Chains A and B, each alone.
Chain A
């Protein structure tokens, strides 16, 4: 009776095949994502200008970056924009979901209407809202024609208010998605819990406040994570809607990075701003992904 060497070649090949199949994807991700991240981090410590160069300057780019009013303005803008965007999207999405969940006639027609902007490019959204908000031909002009002569809506041209137009367009694009997430969460709640609460005498308001909304916690968390990372990555919409202006009123870190790297030829500073963006997103995404992947083991 033979003992060793029984493992035939094909069986051994089968053993390695899964790893072989996975390796091209893995290699691509390792090089193009993690390798590139390391490279950019390295660049952020160098004196790169128009092209990468490898003179080590330590933290100089970071200290320059934080002294630039352009950068701090971008961060402030991002703070305002992200806060309002996340809050309004969540509130509107939750309201739409709860209302749609009340045995609404025509729900099947309303849902796709709320959600379709998600299928559009931010460039299209930006183009549509750019003209709709333009005082010359948009909503303000229309109101004047309809006889409301004193109506003013020139936020998009106003340094103090332009950032809010960004919020409006972004909310328009993604709140339907948040609605869908909450609606799925609502439909996943055990209806017997709802019945029990009603038998316990909870009013509708209390039913939602005390029972339903706490049960939607996972949906809140997912919505927050998705919206936060979208906010930090926002680039296309700014370009299409305001181009960062008027002045720097709607500059965000994403547009800052792009202009410093590719038009102002300050690659070292651009790289350091990208690193800060990555760190911010990682702080939100890594714990979330970690928890998600752990749960399912």
Chain B
């Protein structure tokens, strides 16, 4: 989509072009600087940060802050580092992404190829659920998770993320399958394929790109969630974002900025990696989530 060959042919003068390049480069600096500072300061000893210049490269290179952030820093009350919380997040994200994607694919399939009365209204109800302020569901959700015995657990968070992820995953698959020729489904019906056979043999094999888009979107969203994690799983069941916040906000002792930075990068690493590896799909997901058509 965005890598398409440029077709516009606006002529610009020399001075204008200089200005444009300057603006673009300064902007790039603006976007890169905070991350650059986190990175350089995460490999400095603490003294070099408090006593020295944030912008300068490390004089002494050390991986100690990373080790501390990963396995020994004080998170909340325990000196466990972020490691257990990282695995909490993994245990939460993988099933939640998997389930919400499967459900989204089935919903999209039904909503485009087996249409019935009021299906657009039902889809509208699902779609709106993506945009609600989640504060509106916090209180009853906390109650229900308590009643189900899922409060504070990873399973509870999986349930929450599946429920509030369905809207987007359905949106992706619905839009994708809307462009998928209905004649193929009809041909398969005449060939004798039934509902699930058509889905498995005809639709799914052609759904590669949208599965990638959906998985990336759900992964990024669920990994980065803070509100649900903080509300329903603080303590030892907390996900990475909550643990990072606890690490940074902990008021005891000296502020170990280098450890905080290392921790922040650790928390950002999985989504950043996905972005670097599959940025094209990430952008497609963003666009599909905003401009529907």
- Which of B23-31, B57-65, B202-210 forms part of the interface with chain A? B23-31
A142–B226 CB distance below 8 A? no
A218–B226 CB distance below 8 A? no
For A119, the closest partner residue in chain B by CB is B275
B244–A124 CB distance below 8 A? yes
B24–A110 CB distance below 8 A? yes
Interface size on A, residues (CB 8 A): 117
Picked from B34, B140, B178, the residue with its CB within 8 Å of the CB of A172 is B34
Question: B136-156: which residues lie under 8 A (CB-CB) from chain A?
Answer: 136-141, 143-144
Q: How far is the CB of B260 from chain A (nearest CB, A)?
A: 6
For A290, the closest partner residue in chain B by CB is B124
Q: How far is the CB of A10 from chain B (nearest CB, A)?
A: 7
B20–A52 CB distance below 8 A? no
For A183, the closest partner residue in chain B by CB is B2
Picked from A95, A104, A117, A127, the residue with its CB within 8 Å of the CB of B244 is A127
B139–A102 CB distance below 8 A? no
Task: State A57–B106 Cα separation when bound (angstroms).
Answer: 44
Contacts of B274 in A (CB 8 A): 119
B107–A25 CB distance below 8 A? yes
Task: State A78–B55 Cα separation when bound (angstroms).
Answer: 33
- B90 touches A (CB below 8 Å): no
B133–A293 CB distance below 8 A? no
Task: State A18–B274 Cα separation when bound (angstroms).
Answer: 34
- B15 touches A (CB below 8 Å): no
Contacts of B271 in A (CB 8 A): 119-121
Contacts of A100 in B (CB 8 A): 24
A254–B139 CB distance below 8 A? no
Interface size on B, residues (CB 8 A): 109
Contacts of A226 in B (CB 8 A): 290
A114–B260 CB distance below 8 A? no
- B126 touches A (CB below 8 Å): yes
Task: State A218–B21 Cα separation when bound (angstroms).
Answer: 27
Picked from A30, A40, A184, A225, the residue with its CB within 8 Å of the CB of B2 is A184
B260–A131 CB distance below 8 A? yes
For A132, the closest partner residue in chain B by CB is B34
Contacts of A254 in B (CB 8 A): 133, 135
Interface readout for A174-198 with B: 1 if CB under 8 Å, 0 if not?
0011001101101101010011001
Question: A84-109: which residues lie under 8 A (CB-CB) from chain B?
Answer: 92, 95-96, 99-104, 108
B133–A278 CB distance below 8 A? yes
A119–B282 CB distance below 8 A? yes
Question: A228-259: which residues lie under 8 A (CB-CB) from chain B?
Answer: 229, 232-233, 235-236, 239-240, 243, 253-254, 257-258
- B245 touches A (CB below 8 Å): yes
* Interface secondary structure of B, over-half rule: helix
Contacts of A19 in B (CB 8 A): 110, 116
Picked from B31, B103, B135, B144, the residue with its CB within 8 Å of the CB of A274 is B135
Contacts of A122 in B (CB 8 A): 224, 226
Task: State A172–B34 Cα separation when bound (angstroms).
Answer: 10
- A267 touches B (CB below 8 Å): yes
B245–A286 CB distance below 8 A? no
Contacts of A187 in B (CB 8 A): 1-2, 4, 6-7
A25–B248 CB distance below 8 A? no
Contacts beyond the supplied A127-B38, A181-B291, A271-B139: 18 A-B pairs with Cβ under 8 Å: A21-B106, A21-B107, A22-B111, A36-B137, A36-B141, A100-B24, A101-B10, A111-B2, A124-B264, A125-B34, A127-B260, A128-B264, A141-B53, A180-B2, A204-B10, A225-B290, A229-B131, A258-B231
Query: Could you name 20 residue pairs across A and B whose Cβ atoms are closer than 8 Å?
Result: A22-B106, A24-B103, A25-B126, A25-B170, A28-B166, A36-B137, A52-B139, A119-B220, A119-B271, A119-B282, A121-B244, A122-B224, A124-B244, A181-B287, A204-B16, A239-B245, A253-B135, A271-B139, A278-B132, A293-B120
Which A residues are within 8 Å of any B CB, using their own CB? 10, 14, 17-19, 21-22, 24-26, 28-30, 32-37, 39-40, 43, 52, 92, 95-96, 99-104, 108, 110-125, 127-132, 137-139, 141-142, 145-146, 172, 176-177, 180-181, 183-184, 186-187, 189, 191, 194-195, 198, 204, 207, 218-219, 222-223, 225-226, 229, 232-233, 235-236, 239-240, 243, 253-254, 257-258, 261-262, 267, 270-271, 273-275, 277-278, 281-282, 285-286, 289-290, 292-293, 295-297
